[in-house]
Amino acid sequence: MLSREDNELLTRVGAGTPMGDTLRLYWLPALIASEVAEPDGPPVRVRLLGEDLVAFRDSDGRIGLLDEFCPHRRASLFFGRNEECGLRCVYHGWKFDVQGRCIDQMNEPADSQFGHKVHIGAYPTVELGGVVWAYLGPPERTPAPPKFAWTQVPATHRMVSKVIQETNWLQALEGGLDTSHAPIMHRLLSENSKLGGISPSSPFVRGGAPKLVVDLTDYGYQYAGIRPLGDAEMHIRTYHFVMPFHQLRPSRAESRIPMVAGHSWVPIDDHNTMVYNWGYSIGDEPLTAEDRLERTLGNGPANVDPVTFRSLKNRHNNYLIDRAAQRSESFTGIDGINAQDRAVQESMGRIVDRSREHLGPADKAIIQMRRLMLRAVKTVQEGGTPPGVRPSYYAIKAAEDVLPRDADWRARLTPDMKAADILQTV
């Protein structure tokens, strides 16, 4: 459990809050690059850490991320004209470039324009892995670019989607770091079920309750769920938590080909989260159009409105739960692994009161994440640099397999993790 004070500290992300100041020292996914695919195309609204912004791609292909509201009379630049290397407000014609400089004022005579004195809020961006990332912190503290392994593979081998979750970011992240729930809540009861979930014949489901091992690193941690399979074998599934809100996991149990996949739970504000879902093939085989539909997960175009990015299964229709299917096909009766996650996490309310929890050994990864985030906030408050801003996470991957009970699972599954990379095992 957390004290009410620490719960408040971790969940509030607005400008000037301790957690907000900490998150602003990382590169944050701001939107999918295809949302601003064309130069001089329509601008799009972005809400990030409680700030209302607008994104656009200018005539030269550069991406701007500006304060949504024109500094003249506060009209929304979402209605602006994206033209000739700038976004022009339609109210009085003030125009801003990607750096936030006012480069024209149509309503002022040429001899009285004062655009050189006007600057709108603007944040730097970088485009990696089909995602536009933004940095909202002090320029002098800009971290290394977010070159996760998944951002470096060809687009043919990678997919990215996003969906809004109507909760605070922390409980969304905690759900992703909780390996003990996955073979319970996400299990299918029948191999013939048409609902999205994990096959009952999967070793992930057949194994017992996991023992968790957490290897602390300079970017967060690697952790493993170790499940007994009979007397001689064990199922190992490794994950990574990259601060502040990224998860890497294997997806062999959820996809037709070996992949590494994961999520980033990006705070829209205190009560809403944009969940970025990504995955890439770890072999030579590219992803197919069917793979990109994410049917098993419930994140694709058949499940999420492509304009609003809201799930079609939501609290207002009880996530289309099928009680008959819950008896014989699926543990939850809800179609889609991540749709099930959203249903349960949203059922907790917008912000969980963690002072009323009762945690156990199966919650070790969640407990360690909270400790790391609280320590990061304290470090930032003291003028230091939080973990996860250096490039040490660039090459990490996640894996799973069935191994003999006495096997060295680190050597077999995560050979890129050197002993020196592990600061402490808990």
- Give per-residue pLDDT as tens, 113-122: 998 999 999 9
- Residue 167 φ then ψ, to 5°: -150, 170
- pLDDT score, position 102: 97
> CA geometry: angle at 138 spanning 135 and 142, to 5°?
55
Beta bridge partners of 87: 82, 96
Q: Which amino acid is at 299?
A: N
Q: Which fold has domain 27-141?
A: Rieske Iron-sulfur Protein (2.102.10)
Name the DSSP class of 210.
P
Cβ–Cβ < 8 Å for 288, 273: no
Map tokens 């504000």 to a residue: 269
Q: With b meaning 16 or more CB within 10 Å and e meaning fewer, what string describes 233-256?
A: bbbbbbbbbbbbbbbbbbbbbbbe
Strand order in the sheet with 44-48: 44-48, 51-57, 63-67, 122-123
Question: What is the C-alpha separation between 369 and 373, in angstroms, rounded?
Answer: 6
Closest CA to 256 of 218, 225, 287: 287
Q: What is each CA distance from 176 to 173, 400, 401, in whole angstroms?
A: 5, 16, 20
Which class is 149-425 in CATH? alpha beta
First to last CA, the chain: 18
Q: How long, in residues, is the chain?
A: 426
Q: Is the peptide bond before 244 cis (omega within 30 degrees of 0)?
A: yes
Beta bridge partners of 236: 226, 401
CB neighbourhood size of 387 (10 A):
22
Cβ–Cβ < 8 Å for 370, 2: yes
> H-helix or E-strand containing 131?
strand 131-135
List the structure tokens of 81: 């004209």
Q: What is each CA distance from 222 to 104, 150, 241, 369, in whole angstroms?
A: 51, 17, 6, 11
- pLDDT score, position 253: 57
Stretches where the chain sits below pLDDT 70 are 252-255, 420
Question: What is the C-alpha separation between 238 and 230, in angstroms, rounded?
Answer: 20
Cβ–Cβ < 8 Å for 382, 201: no
Domain ranges of the chain: 27-141, 149-425
Cβ–Cβ < 8 Å for 339, 313: yes
Write the CB contacts of 90 (distance below 8 Å, at least 6 apart in sequence): 75, 79, 80, 81
Question: What is the C-alpha separation between 136 and 259, in angstroms, rounded?
Answer: 31
Cβ–Cβ < 8 Å for 4, 10: no
Q: For the packed helices 169-177 and 364-381, what is the interaxial angle rounded to 10 degrees?
A: 140
Q: What is each CA distance from 79 to 32, 44, 90, 91, 382, in whole angstroms?
A: 20, 9, 7, 9, 41
Cβ–Cβ < 8 Å for 218, 387: yes
Question: What is the C-alpha separation between 344 and 391, in angstroms, rounded?
Answer: 34
DSSP H helical ranges for 197-336: 203-206, 323-328
Question: What is the C-alpha separation between 90 and 82, in angstroms, rounded?
Answer: 10
List the structure tokens of 29: 């996914």
Question: What is the C-alpha separation between 54 and 79, in angstroms, rounded?
Answer: 10
Distance of CA 406 to the CA centre of its chain: 35
- With a threshold of 0.75, does the pTM exceed it? yes
